[in-house]
Each structure stands twice: as structure tokens, then as C-alpha cells.
């Protein structure tokens, strides 16, 4: 199972030399159906080969371009470790695949850029969020979606309270222990006491009278590091930690999208999967409320004839290119083939894909995303109108 970040999506969207091949297909984790997955990919590659030859590439060029995809067909180990969906991207300069816990419809697209619309449910309305797991002995940052969670490498962030104070006074050797003992007088092991107030000994560092001061300094350093890492992010951040630590971090926090509700308990005792389950219960209502609010706003404006709401493809595609769209609803599994001339601002829609065409719904989603708008990739029945595209304009 792989994780797709916003930066990786931007890299896929970026300019690539020559033709770009995008393949999406469902896969299976176990059972007899796993034997059909390589056959499914082989058939999709066959479709791509025919389109490339029809587009003017010679067979040798086609073979060279698709070689990374062909090699996957014979890689038994690759097919043993699948999730629910496979996305494969190939160009003359790169080849990349992702295994997602999201089943895709079979789709093969050949264009001058990668087709990425099926990926938006992993980043938008179905939730991209962060979990900051805090204890005195450990800091973890995890990035999650509705379907997956993974650990983020923390740069310039102290991994523990002890290390944070050593950063402040690297020449002094700090002795760190807790004052907590069991009823029988035995010292609590570090793995158990990570959620207890601490006492520090070290000349010139601070007194042991106010452990909160140490923790506050620690959390300010964590917040500084997160500021560098999450600058410009809009994803919700959920705190996980024991009850007395969470308000101390909130006082130090400067990230604007910190969620009010946290996950209480010692996070050192929770796996990434445990944190994912508990965090999704916190953020799912937020995502649903945001999407429904945008949908209700669209219906209100569209019903009143406002120019700030539209469902006309010929109007929305140029507006997305110009950065005018605040929110875009686009149906997954649906394509509208055609072309867009950005200089003239003209859109041509074709009943069937023609050479040089692209999915105009994908194009609108890409430019909305790149210009800072919100893309809600939803099932067709969840669209706020009967049209195949719906947009709220910034102006």
C-alpha cells in the first residue's frame, strides 16, 4: 500500500517529455482473482500499444516506452503484494506505480500529460490529514487518507523531550528521569512512564519545580519543525497524547488547521493502524461537513441564477485554467474527451476520444488543484447537480 502526497501529485501533473501513459485497474489482495490481475494489465497495455502505433510511434519506440510496464507482468513478487487498485504512469523519462486501497475502474489514457483525476479521492473529500503523536519520549507525524496512513520523516524536529533540552544546551549532560513510582516504590519503566510528568537534573538547565516549562519548550521546537514541513498545507492535524500534554501543545501550536478534538492516551502504545482508525473518526465528519457545505452553497447559488456557480464545461475549463475556481465537483469514472485552447479560451468537446484529445474533466480538476482550489472527486450520484461538472467561482 502506497501513499500519495500533494507534492507527488504535482510532480505527476508537471511537464513531461513526449507521450504520457496512465493506466488504472482494480487489483486483489488474495484469492484466485489475483491470477487475473496480470492478465488485466496485459490487456490494458495492449490497448495502449495500439493507440501509440496509431499515433505515429514505430513498434520499436512503443516497446521501449512500455518496457517498464511489460516487466511487471512477469514479476511474481510484485503481484503477491497488491492492494485494491493499481495506478501506473509511464513516459520516456520516468515510470512509477502506486498500489492503493482504492479500487479503480479499468482505464488506459495516452496523452501529452498524465491522467490523474482518479487519484483525487485520495487527497480531497475522502480526506488527507495528519496525526501528531506526542509523548515525552517520542514524536511521530503520520499522514493519512481515508484508506491509508504512513509515517512522515520529521526533519529539524527533536524526537524526544530529552533531545530537545540537549539541543538547547548541548554542552551539558542532562539526566532525565520521572518521579513516578509504583505503590510498592519501584521505578516505572520508561516504556510505561512516557505519559508522566518528568523531573530533570542538569546544572544550568532549569529547576525541577516546573516540568510544564520543559514540555512547553519541547513543544515549541516541535511546532517550529512542523512549520517548515507543513507550510502552506490545509489538511487537518489531529493531536494524539495523554490528556495533560495536549493543552500544552495547543498553546505552542501555530499550525492553522489543528483540530479541536484529539486522541487521548499514550500514543507509544498505539500502532499506526490504531491511530489511523481513531483519527479518521475525528476528521471524517469534518470532511463530510466541508463537502456538504460546498454542495449546499453551489445549489443555493445555482438555484438563484448566480454567475458564481456553473455546470457548463465550456465555462468551467477556462475558469480553472485562470485560477477562478474555489471548489470543483467532478465525478469519478466519467470522462469527457476534447481539447482546450488556453490562448483563445475555447473548449471543443467530442463524443469519442480523437487523437490529441484529453479528458476535460481531468483538465479542470488539475488546474483547480494547482491554483489552490478544492477538488471533490465523488461518485456520480453524489454530484450537487445532474451535470458532469459543478464549480463554485472565487469571482
Domain boundaries, the chain: 6-122, 128-284, 307-393
DSSP class of residue 268 equals G
- Burial category of 87 from C-beta neighbours within 10 Å (exposed 0-12, middle 13-18, buried 19 and up): buried
282: three-class secondary structure by DSSP: helix
Domain with residues 6-122, CATH architecture? 2-Layer Sandwich (3.30)
Domain with residues 128-284, CATH architecture? 2-Layer Sandwich (3.30)
CA–CA distance, 81 with 172 (Å, rounded to integer): 48
**What pLDDT is stored for residue 210 in this prediction?**
63
Tell me whether domains 6-122 and 128-284 share a fold: no
**What pLDDT is stored for residue 126 in this prediction?**
53
In this structure, the dihedral spanned by the alpha carbons of residues 259, 263, 266 and 270, taken in order and rounded to 10 degrees, is -110
Give the pLDDT confidence of 131-145 residue by residue, as tens digits. Answer: 999 988 889 999 888
CATH superfamily of the 307-393 domain:
Ribosomal protein L30/S12 (3.30.1330.30)
Long-range contacts of 204-210 (CB under 8 A, 24+ apart): 204/169, 204/172, 205/165, 205/168, 205/169, 205/172, 205/174
Q: Parallel, antiparallel, or unpaired: how do β-strands 128-134 and 237-241 relate?
A: parallel
For the sheet with 149-152, list strands across it. 149-152, 139-145, 128-134, 237-241, 263-264
Low-confidence ranges of the chain (pLDDT < 70): 1-3, 123-127, 163-210
User: Phi and psi of 371, rounded to 5°?
Assistant: -95, 15
Q: Taking phi first (over 0 means left), then psi (-120 to 50 degrees means alpha), and beta for anything else, what does residue 329 get?
A: beta
Residue 97, strand partner residues: 88
DSSP-assigned letters across all residues of 34-49: GGGHHHHHHHHHHHHH
pTM of the predicted model as reported, rounded to 2 decimal places: 0.70
240 is written with which cell numbers? 494524539
CA–CA distance, 54 with 21 (Å, rounded to integer): 14
**What pLDDT is stored for residue 186 in this prediction?**
37
Amino acid at each position: 500500500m502506497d501513499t500519495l502526497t500533494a507534492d507527488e501529485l504535482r510532480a505527476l501533473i508537471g511537464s513531461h517529455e513526449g507521450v504520457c501513459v496512465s493506466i488504472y485497474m482494480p487489483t486483489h489482495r488474495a484469492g484466485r482473482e489475483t491470477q487475473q490481475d496480470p492478465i488485466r494489465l496485459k490487456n490494458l497495455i495492449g490497448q495502449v500499444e495500439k493507440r501509440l502505433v496509431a499515433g505515429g510511434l514505430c513498434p520499436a519506440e512503443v516497446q521501449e516506452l512500455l518496457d517498464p510496464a511489460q516487466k511487471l507482468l512477469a514479476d511474481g513478487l510484485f503481484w503477491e503484494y497488491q492492494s485494491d487498485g493499481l495506478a501506473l504512469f509511464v513516459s520516456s523519462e520516468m515510470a512509477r506505480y502506486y498500489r492503493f486501497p482504492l479500487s479503480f475502474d479499468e482505464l488506459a489514457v495516452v496523452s501529452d500529460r498524465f491522467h490523474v483525476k482518479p487519484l483525487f479521492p485520495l487527497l480531497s473529500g475522502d480526506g488527507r490529514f495528519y496525526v501528531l503523536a506526542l509523548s515525552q519520549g517520542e514524536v511521530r507525524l503520520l499522514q493519512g487518507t481515508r484508506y491509508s496512513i504512513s509515517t512522515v520523516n520529521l526533519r529539524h524536529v527533536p524526537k524526544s523531550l530529552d533531545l530537545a533540552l540537549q539541543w538547547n544546551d548541548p554542552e551539558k549532560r542532562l539526566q532525565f528521569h520521572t518521579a513516578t513510582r509504583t505503590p510498592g516504590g519501584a521505578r516505572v519503566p520508561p516504556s510505561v512512564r512516557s505519559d508522566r510528568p518528568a523531573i530533570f537534573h542538569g546544572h544550568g538547565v532549569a529547576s525541577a519545580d516546573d516540568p510544564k516549562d520543559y514540555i512547553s519548550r519541547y513543544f515549541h521546537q516541535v511546532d517550529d519543525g512542523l512549520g517548515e514541513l507543513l507550510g502552506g498545507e490545509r489538511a487537518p492535524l489531529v493531536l494524539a497524547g495523554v490528556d495533560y500534554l495536549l493543552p500544552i501543545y495547543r498553546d505552542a501550536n501555530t499550525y492553522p488547521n489543528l483540530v479541536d478534538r484529539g486522541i487521548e492516551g499514550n500514543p507509544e502504545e498505539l500502532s499506526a493502524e490504531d491511530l489511523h482508525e481513531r483519527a479518521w473518526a475525528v476528521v471524517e465528519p469534518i470532511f463530510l461537513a466541508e463537502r456538504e457545505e460546498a454542495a449546499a452553497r453551489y445549489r443555493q447559488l445555482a438555484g438563484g441564477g448566480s454567475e458564481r456557480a456553473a455546470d457548463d464545461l465550456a465555462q468551467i475549463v477556462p475558469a480553472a485554467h485562470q485560477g477562478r475556481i474555489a471548489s470543483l465537483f467532478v465525478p469519478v469514472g466519467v470522462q469527457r474527451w476534447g481539447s482546450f485552447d488556453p490562448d483563445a479560451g475555447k473548449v471543443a468537446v467530442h463524443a469519442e476520444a480523437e487523437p490529441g484529445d484529453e479528458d476535460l474533466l481531468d483538465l479542470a480538476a488539475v488546474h483547480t488543484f494547482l491554483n489552490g482550489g478544492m477538488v471533490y472527486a465523488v461518485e456520480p450520484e453524489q454530484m450537487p447537480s445532474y451535470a458532469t461538472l459543478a464549480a463554485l467561482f472565487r469571482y
